[in-house]
A and B are shown apart, each in its own frame.
Chain A
Amino acid sequence: MPVVSFWDKRYNIKRNMKKILLIEDEELIIKLLGKKLAGVGYEVALAMDGLEGIEKMKKIVPDLVLLDIVMPRMGGFEVMAEMKKDSGLAKIPVIIISNSGQPLELEKAKRLGAVDWLVKTEFDPKEVVEKISKYINRAD
């Protein structure tokens, strides 16, 4: 059952929709958040790990990245470090969504350019959407 509108399914895209790239390895979270974001009018692209995330990012240049920290192959911090190296990606706002939230990690993320950090247990999808709208407008 397609619960999210994948970037690849171009026929679904409206030109003025904001693009959000969700980089997250947990399937349930992907499905839930993807559905929520699509439901409120965002175009959502998905990546299951950091490497895939960077690849997709370069291809679609999203308006915002939702990024998990602990992932296989490439973690969230490395993704941010890669983004910093690429001038085309460096300015994209990144919101971290993680199960952790240690002060040291928060500091590191801030240093690497993340605009916000959400601990999954403290937020729900609705609040994630609210946070996102703080950084981008849903549609121009």
Chain B
Amino acid sequence: MNQNLKIKISDVPRPLRPAVAAKDEVAISGIQKQGDIPRKNERKNDEFCELDEVRGQLEETRSVMEIRINAKTKELRDQAEDLEKQIKERTGELQKKIEESENSRMALMNMLEDMEDLRRRAEEEKEKTLAIITNFTDGLMLFDSVDRLALVNSQMGLFFGVGKEDAKRIIGKKIADFGEVVGFKPLVDLLGGDLTKIARKELFISEKAVFEVSLLEISGQRNKVGVLLIVHDISREKMVERMKTEFVSIAAHQLRTPISAIKWTLRMILDGDLGPITEEQREFLEKTYKSNERMINLINDLLNVTRIEEGRHLYNIVAADMTVLVQSLIVNYADIAKQKNLALDYEGPVEIIPQVKIDVEKMKLVVSNLIENALKYTPAGGKISVSIGQKDDGVLVTVRDTGMGISAEQTDRIFTKYFRASNAVRMETEGTGLGLFIAKNIVETHGGKIWFDSREGKGTVFCFTIPSAEADSILQ
């Protein structure tokens, strides 16, 4: 019977365990109900003890087993978790690799697209460039590295009255052989059939057709790729320039009429031709006369500038002696120098200097401008020395002063039209800023050079040269 009870609970399948326990209960209670038989009861008590013991052992075993099971379960769970983690990691890695390859694929696709785009754009650019060249408002001719015409645009034909077919006939030819197309003849004449002289020249065909012709060398990385000939229509600019010059010229002449009337009236009043005047009246009238003279000078400057711009300011070119010209001016300015307490010296040439071919009136203007500037911008007590010498094969005139000088940052603007140095404006408010511009133009038209050296606060020296009459000057 004991044998029957000694079953391990772990041997019983879990769902049946409570049933086993219940049968035990029933068996036990059945035994207790038969307790009215005492002998039998004693035996039964022993059996109970044994049963309890077994039950205790069983309980113990069960809890031990439970602990073990729990431990094992935990171990298994941990392992499973570990595995899961590894799988996750691996999956992540794979995911990443997939993404990477996807990215590479995309990049490749993009590159392909970009390439296509670039190709298309290059094509477009090419078309655009060609469209620009053919429809450009400037006339264009492109010559290859051996100076043969590679391309000519339609504007070129329009400028020179050459039809499309005629223009095509000169493709592949050198400029010297363009003569067969009559319209291009002025262009060939201007360039002398030569593309080596890279330059910019003006081509006048009629008042409505004035062109600026430029030659540009096109270079590649190392060598010459070709030459570009550009013909730019400047007829309108020329017309505006002419109108502006005419306007200034007319305005200046119109201004002269009333101004000369004022001058003459004042002079005659001052000379007493119109009756006696008081000292006070004389003083005012003298000042008015001087203002009027300034106005006359201003108008004369404006007229001189317009003449320079029209390129018609040199007329009476004669052989002359520069020393005579300069000396006469020194005499003219002696009084003014004295009034301003300035020394005005003249130093003639050591040797006999050659004659010069000049427009005497214009050359006087140059020297007077330089002397007047020196007188104006040298403080009282200073010194102005004018000297003449020889330089190379020309005559050198030097005007040196101990005046206020020109600041270094303004030196490159000193010959610019209407420019007045800031310190000059402070010292003398009157002035047109035209004197040196006029002087430079006159000197250069005579084939000479003008330059200066100056130190602010110390003084300035202006020099100019005029080629001697024997020297081949541009005037011939």
Question: Measured between C-beta atoms, what is the minimum distance from B254 to chain A in Å?
Answer: 8
Residues of B within 8 A of A107 (CB): 315
5 examples of A-B residue contacts, CB within 8 angstroms: A28-B264, A32-B268, A121-B263, A124-B268, A125-B264
Identify which of A29, A39, A103 contacts B260 (C-beta below 8 A): A29
Query: In the complex, what residue of chain A is closest to B262 when comparing beta carbons?
Result: A28
Asked if A18 is at the interface of the complex by the 8 Å CB criterion, the answer is no
The digit string for A13-55, where 1 denotes a CB below 8 A from any CB of B, is 0000000000000101100110110010000000000000000
Residues of B within 8 A of A84 (CB): none
Residues of A within 8 A of B273 (CB): 35-36, 39, 125
Q: For chain B, which range describes its interface: under 10, 10 to 19, 20 to 34, or 35 or more residues?
A: 20 to 34
Given A35-B268, A35-B273, are A124 and B253 neighbors across the interface (CB < 8 Å)?
no
Q: Is the CB of A28 within 8 A of B261?
A: yes
The digit string for A86-126, where 1 denotes a CB below 8 A from any CB of B, is 00000000000001101110110000000000011110111
Given A36-B273, A39-B273, are A121 and B256 neighbors across the interface (CB < 8 Å)?
yes
Question: Measured between C-beta atoms, what is the minimum distance from B247 to chain A in Å?
Answer: 15
Asked if B60 is at the interface of the complex by the 8 Å CB criterion, the answer is no
C-alpha gap A35/B261 in the complex (Å): 14
Asked if B299 is at the interface of the complex by the 8 Å CB criterion, the answer is yes
Identify which of B256, B259, B263 contacts A124 (C-beta below 8 A): B263
Q: Is the CB of A121 within 8 A of B259?
A: yes
Q: Is the CB of A120 within 8 A of B256?
A: yes
Given A39-B273, A103-B316, A126-B271, are A28 and B296 neighbors across the interface (CB < 8 Å)?
no
Interface residues of A (CB under 8 A from B): 26, 28-29, 32-33, 35-36, 39, 99-100, 102-104, 106-107, 119-122, 124-126
Q: Is the CB of B267 within 8 A of A28?
A: no
Q: Is the CB of A26 within 8 A of B271?
A: no
Q: Is the CB of A124 within 8 A of B312?
A: no
Given A99-B253, A99-B260, are A125 and B312 neighbors across the interface (CB < 8 Å)?
no
Query: In the complex, what residue of chain A is closest to B292 when comparing beta carbons?
Result: A121
Asked if B265 is at the interface of the complex by the 8 Å CB criterion, the answer is yes
Q: Is the CB of A29 within 8 A of B261?
A: yes
C-alpha gap A12/B275 in the complex (Å): 21
The total of Cβ contacts below 8 Å across the A-B interface reads 57
Residues of B within 8 A of A126 (CB): 267, 271
Residues of A within 8 A of B257 (CB): 26, 99, 120
8 Å CB interface, B347-384 against A: none
Residues of B within 8 A of A120 (CB): 256-257, 260, 263-264
C-alpha gap A66/B256 in the complex (Å): 18
Q: Is the CB of A103 within 8 A of B312?
A: yes
Q: Is the CB of A28 within 8 A of B265?
A: yes
Residues of A within 8 A of B299 (CB): 121
Given A36-B273, A103-B316, A121-B296, are A26 and B261 neighbors across the interface (CB < 8 Å)?
yes
Query: In the complex, what residue of chain A is closest to B254 when comparing beta carbons?
Result: A99
Asked if B300 is at the interface of the complex by the 8 Å CB criterion, the answer is yes
Residues of A within 8 A of B265 (CB): 28, 32
Residues of B within 8 A of A32 (CB): 261, 264-265, 268
Q: Report the 6 A-B pairs with minimum CB-CB distance, sorted nearest first.
A: A120-B260, A103-B315, A124-B267, A99-B256, A28-B261, A121-B296
Residues of B within 8 A of A103 (CB): 312, 315-316
Question: Measured between C-beta atoms, what is the minimum distance from B265 to chain A in Å?
Answer: 6
Question: Measured between C-beta atoms, what is the minimum distance from A124 to chain B in Å?
Answer: 4
Name the residue among B259, B265, B299 with the largest chain A CB count within 10 angstroms. B265
C-alpha gap A99/B267 in the complex (Å): 17
Residues of B within 8 A of A29 (CB): 260-261, 264
